[in-house]
Amino acid sequence: MSTGPSRLEETVRQINSSDWGVNYSPRTSPRKMADDATMCDGFRKPMLLDQACLLVHNAMGHDVHVSNVTSECHGCLPQQLMEVSPYSTKSVIVSTIYSTVMKFSTNGKSFQSTYSFGQHGKYKLDVFGPNNVTLTEQSPADYVYAPLWILVGLIVLAAILAGIIWRILRLERVALYLPQSFQPPPNVLIRNAQEEDLGGGGSRQRSGDSSPLVPTPPILIEKTKERTASLDVFRGITITLMMFVNYGGGKYAIFEHSAWNGLTFADVVFPWFAWIMGVSLALSVQSQLRNSISRKKVFVKILLRSLLLIALGIVLNSFKNNDITRLRIPGVLQRLGLAFLIVGTLEAFLMTPQNLITILQGRAQWVSDVIYGWKQWIIMMCIVLVHTLVVMFAQVEGCPRGYVGPGGLDMQGKAVNCTGGITGLIDRAVFGPKHIYQHPTSSHVYHTTMPFDPEGLFGTLTTAFNIFLGVCAGRILMVYSSSLQRNVRWLAFSVICAGVTFILISFSKDGGIIPINKNLWSLSFVLSTSSMAFALFTFLYTNIDEKKYWSGSPFRQVGRNAIFLYIGHIVTKNTFPWNWSPIDHTTHAQALWMNAWSTLLWVVVAIIMECCNIFITI
């Protein structure tokens, strides 16, 4: 989600706004500030997050011109950093988020090396001559991930304690005294009388169950499918991670969106939510068809839900800027609404009713789910093909044919105004440059100046494919009743998606035919994130719905009010007690605990809402 400037962008701005270091003659030593480990010699302000102090000593009789560029900036030329006079030292604050390529030019010769710096570390580069540079660590760097590991440890400890409590609660004599919302589902469930709109397609009989030896009198119970708990849990995990990331993720780079190509924790939450939306869509449409609701009415419900998502997204955008001349039109909910409409329309008119679904015989039984959705597959493949061909072969004026880069410094500055290629051009033409995202994630690395929206219009096509893959997972739930059959097919989809991804990217980050790119919502991005989604859903289904090792709490409660929590965390993002200004801006610790606390508050809200039997959906 694109909710504001990234950690690296803030770091670059802080560095640029600082006073550049001062020169020291051999007769004078640098100003010492030993009492404060975060101070950099020659600077009046302390080092902040993800910053290090670098001293460059010129041991030659000629001026040394120092340029640098982050290693994340693929195909970029180093940019001028400073000039160091003969036999003098100059200091500079550098970013530690990525490794840095340093280029030294002196007396007509140039040479470069790549260095990695740690937060608050103090380093000295001695330049003795061409290809003769030594790096010395004068002060050790912080271990920035210590607070994160502590948080992970606390979560694991809480999970262990919850598991112990869960086993205690499973005792029948204890469960009788608990509120219904806190009671674990029994080993043998009595099915609900009416399936909810987003209900799951749980199997009618658990695999491995056997008939009793002595027949018992039948009990008249209206049987329908039970709600698939793993569906809510998957959605809850996604929303929880999304809230943590959007709140700041402790200002760790691993919880920031990729500058351009690549994949981070922040990049997977949106496609996972789209994927699980597809699973819910399949089960919802099937439920309505089973209840003899006309396909036209099913389509109208999908249309209204899509329009509501788009409207809510625009309203949320206005919280940051209500100037209609500069109001951002695209957004997360807008993208979901349009993609949901595309896939929902296909399923509303083409889905095979469940009473007509039977397991095919012979080899066809292994692909029954695909056969029952073959029309949708053909249409979606055509949509993906059109998107891929346009992206790869479209010609944008002043840009290389099929350019899909970030512009700016990319390609050594030869595609400055080509950010996003045809994808960016379509958004600027349809919405206007002022009505799309003004600070793309590439700006802090590639110095991009063109506005680019990661939730733009053209990427809706591949987002629809993302949702459709979720529909395929839901169709497997409907076609097959055996847990083994379901798990095998979900894992098969996971492996196939991963395999195609590796082919498309040629096992590299920036190479291959179609790199993984969240900004462009590339085909490889859809397949890679869907591969992980299939695998995770298989794990959750096995442990929650099949084996019943875990009730899914607290993610189950979060997942049942996902849209409410998403809107709520956006609205309250900059308000107390969800957010405040940390006292210490030099470490990740305070930001991490604040963001974890903010996320925990919404988890508690979700639990309370379920206890009160309050469920808000669209």
Q: 364-398 burial, b for 16+ CB within 10 Å, e for fewer?
A: eeeebbbebbeebeebbeebbeebbebbeebebee
Positions marked active-site:
257
At position 184, the amino acid (one-letter code) is: P
DSSP structure class, residue 88 = -
* Residue 248 to residue 405: CA distance in whole angstroms: 26
Q: Are 88 and 127 in contact (CB under 8 A)?
A: no
CB count in 10 Å sphere of residue 125: 21
DSSP string covering 476-506 = HHHH---HHHHHHHHHHHHHHHHHHHHHHHT
Q: How many CB atoms sit inside 10 A of residue 233's CB?
A: 29
In whole angstroms, how far apart are CA 254 and each of 98, 151, 235, 267, 579?
11, 15, 21, 10, 21
106: enclosing H helix or E strand: strand 100-106
Cis, bond preceding 554 (omega within 30 deg of 0): yes
H or E stretch including 54? strand 51-58
φ and ψ at residue 105, rounded to 5 degrees: -125, 125
| Rounded CA Rg of the chain | 28
User: 602, 568 in Cβ contact below 8 A?
Assistant: yes
Rounded distance between C-alpha atoms, residue 597 and residue 550, angstroms = 24
Query: Shortest CA distance to 68 belongs to which of 54, 87, 57, 58?
Result: 54
Nearest CA to 531 out of 472, 477, 579, 480 is that of: 472
What percent helix, strand, coil does the chain show, rounded to 5? 50, 10, 40
C-alpha angle 47-49-55 in degrees, rounded to nearest 5: 40
Residue type, 472: C
Tell me the HSE value of 489 on the side-chain side, using a 13 A CA sphere.
23
Q: What CA–CA distance (Å, rounded) separates 125 from 134? A: 6
| Cα distance between residue 420 and residue 433, in whole Å | 13
Count of Cβ atoms closer than 10 Å to residue 290 Cβ: 15
